[in-house]
Amino acid sequence: MISRRLPLAAAALSTLLLASCGNTSLAILPKSSLQGLGGFGSFFSRTESFPTAAPSAKTLASAATKPKDRHHMPVYAFADRTRIIRTTAYTASEADHIVYGNSNATGTPLRYTDRVRSAAADWSFYPVGTVFRISGLPYLYVVDDYGSALAGNATVDIYEPTKELMNVWGSRQVEMTVVQWGSFTRSAEILRQRTSYGHCRAMLANIIRQKPDVGRVAKL
């Protein structure tokens, strides 16, 4: 579960993120279409169990050599595209998300299709626009959201359109592969406008610490 602040309308970013997934004509399924209309919410609850695959022996061996974060999960370098991560789940219908409706932290709609789905993360770990896969699942996930509970760690929050599906996902460790890294510059540009919030300041500071040039560009 995450807490988002001040969604920013960014139509150009929305187009970029969709294009990065190879298809700009995907239909978005907002939570309103999944809850209370034709039983779609219960349909997804019955049929989706998210059968993630166990991490490979090679990935497990690599993880054992890494330093650990506060959740005792391995800390990776950006060069390590395949990794074991901790995941949780959230939904737009939770009490602390209703005010944001179906929007993510970029101001565009949260995605939940049979090909592309939204995810939230600390943008200094996984910058906005990062595309990844989870072993065993057919979807592409795109980081287009963040949350205060995610700041300072590598946990990734998976968007689900109903509380039932959120609970089905729960908390689990998965093997993920980064397909395409997002933009630290764009992340910094968005976060720079929200520094009144501690988690946004923390993410921005960590981006600038790792990539000083991004901090200068984001101020332009």
CATH number of 48-182: 2.40.40.10
Better pLDDT: 93 or 142:
142
- The pTM of the full predicted model, rounded to 2 decimals, is 0.78
Q: What is the tens place of the pLDDT at every residue in 126-157?
A: 999 999 999 999 999 999 999 989 999 999 99
The whole-angstrom separation of Cα 3 and Cα 147 is 5
Domain residue spans of the chain: 48-182
Q: Could you give the count of Cα atoms lying within 13 Å of 93 in the half-sphere of its Cβ?
A: 16
**Amino acid (1-letter code) at residue 220:** L
- More confident: 135 or 14: 135
CA 123, 156, 179: angle at the middle one, nearest 5?
A: 75
Average pLDDT, the chain: 81
